[in-house]
Chain A
């Protein structure tokens, strides 16, 4: 659906994106995570041909983003926290305006979405609150049943209630749709994303499917007979190795089922007990981000 190939974007001397490579599979809910200024919005604007890449390219719906045409745009829904819609038009007037541009616009779906999002049709867009505007943007992005829905920080500044309404509507309409969602808040994409990528200072630190990610990470505590010590040669997939008394703790980034005692014996000595716990998404990210920043692989 989307494939970025060595994507670079410079603003003057500042490298906003540095050689991004990622693939958004069809039907996935792909989360682009990163702190503010990491390059998420720049990436999305490159996808939409609002910016042009300095180097590299990105294909979207099989077309180079620089050649994206109304044909592709009619298959893409876009919601952004900074979307400037005509403030003097009412909600209904703007939907009337947009409708003819999309051959697949479903009026009954539009009515359903408006009703469920509780958007007042007669209200001017300029008079809508931030949350209502985000809902409005979503209401403009869904009725034509886009193949690809791009959400740029959709939850930014939304109160929890509006966010839940937004998410509910989104999940309700998602169906076969591919969703690319950018966020700086992990909690927002937990339970939604099928794939996740982490962006930091314009570089993609990793991308992976959520299932793989959660299944291969374990927080491991090994209790030994004597005082625990770090192995002389720490396996590269062990992260955050720490000792406390006779307990050795680390994050295993390549968990593949069970831990036979003999596997650790040669490394840490007499193993009494192995405790491997699945990790919360936030902890996985913290580990990965730290590892990536330290120059290692996860």
Chain B
């Protein structure tokens, strides 16, 4: 009877399903063909299509489930010899065939159109589809099962939205409160939240379809949302300990050490490394906070490696024993030909505190949680009009931006992207390079964004070669672009480790940045 119920639902909701599928196809077409997958999420029309597709998916699922609504006492199906198991399976079948399948096909189409092979496209689309089913459509199904009609959906949505907005609004953006958020480990947080979501959705569905416990289902839904919101407060230590278990080369970071090196002098934004605008922002102090830049020297680094800070905790102890907790900007470093590197992480200090202690010696204790990465591969493509596909990176294209100040690199990969990249412009005949951009994303073993209706993962970077003010000079400037290439280096995670740095006495006033040249 599963197929029979499914056919009835299709008959009643096919127009909505067609609309949702149309939106997904349109998104795939626009993202793939019109804007070449570059900056998909930052492109307003695509973002609108993505949100529209998501809303339409929700509406289709709600409509299908509410054909045989669980809450209420007057539904005809309640008095018919319909097995509850058949009913829930019919709804799942509906989601798979009427929601997932069109998305899956759009996904494969987008992937093939972007130049990926059928096997790569299939694999990426399958992974994306499975994740999307679990963490979007299954919760939609569960939510639909505790609602009777569109009014219920809207009311529930408003209540949930308000709750989320209030909790989010009341939560200050602080690394102490949400230490895992926006780090390479945030996948642990999102995966935990997703696991809770999936588990909760399954429980709600079972409660509803096999016991018709709508009140319990609604209470559970509320608790789940609260739990999801609480997930952002996941403490750092257990998350890092878990991540450490996943290190591919445990102990490989044992030679790396971190020291405070006052002999390196004050931070001075290097010419050409940043635009003048960036450089000036270094000096910008406001009424609330002051910034100082402490010279940290990282030693024991292999040449083809890098270190990414995931989290820091700074304790500032005044001479009278008073303790203040501060936040140090996350930093990363790669050695430039020698096994050591210098880095100036930014320390923000509240103005009142800074005025009091800037000329006094204070003790600083800095706990670092770090990730050690090593170069896995290096690839290059022409700086102008390059269009190439690379293993593990995907298809990349280069172009000069409209202001003719930077080379825009846009890549799209079918599925997972590596955790860390370095990008730089290199003049091929001379080997001279512009300062690189090094960044680590997520260390997740499963990197697919279910909120995007296609499985392609877009990423990119702007590599500056000209400062319109003329103050910053770049080794690879506009005149050398034709003979230059964009180098994309992939770094793989080797190990996660901790370092504690103690500076017994430092006058922070001595470590404000110098003016740039």
Please give the residue numbers on chain A whose beta carbons come within 8 Å of chain B beta carbons, in ascending order: 45, 48, 50-51, 70-71, 73-74, 76, 78, 80, 82-86, 88-89, 93, 97-98, 100-102, 140
Contacts and interface: CB of A to CB of B under 8 A. Distances in A.
B34 interface: no
B74 A84 contact: yes
Contact of B81 (A70, A80, A93): A70
Interface string B49-88: 0000000000000000001000011111011111100000
Nearest to B76: A85
B5 to A, nearest CB: 8
B241 interface: no
Contacts of B78: 48, 50
B81 A71 contact: yes
A50 B77 CA distance: 11
Given A83-B74, A88-B12, A73 B1 contact: no
Contact of A80 (B4, B8, B74, B80): B74
Contacts of A86: 8, 12, 67, 76
Contact of A100 (B1, B11, B73, B79): B1
A80 B4 CA distance: 25
A76 B83 CA distance: 15
Given A97-B4, A98-B80, A102-B81, 10 more contacts: A48-B78, A50-B78, A50-B79, A73-B80, A73-B81, A85-B76, A89-B11, A89-B12, A100-B1, A101-B81
A93 B11 CA distance: 10
A93 B9 CA distance: 12
A227 B206 CA distance: 75
B83 A97 contact: no
A64 B74 CA distance: 21
Q: Chain A interface mostly helix, strand, loop or mixed?
A: mixed
A89 B67 CA distance: 11
Nearest to A78: B79
Contacts of B81: 70-71, 73-74, 101-102
27 contacts: A48-B78, A48-B79, A50-B73, A70-B81, A73-B82, A74-B81, A78-B79, A80-B74, A82-B74, A83-B76, A83-B79, A84-B72, A84-B75, A85-B76, A86-B8, A86-B12, A86-B67, A86-B76, A89-B8, A89-B11, A97-B4, A97-B8, A98-B80, A100-B4, A101-B81, A102-B81, A140-B76
Contacts of B82: 70, 73, 101
Contacts of B83: 70
Contacts of A83: 74, 76, 79
B79 A76 contact: yes
Interface string B148-166: 0000000000000000000
Nearest to B72: A84
A80 B76 CA distance: 9
B1 A45 contact: no
B1 A101 contact: yes
Contacts of A80: 74
Contacts of A93: 11
Contacts of B1: 100-101
Nearest to A93: B11
Contacts of A100: 1, 4
Nearest to A71: B81
B11 A84 contact: no
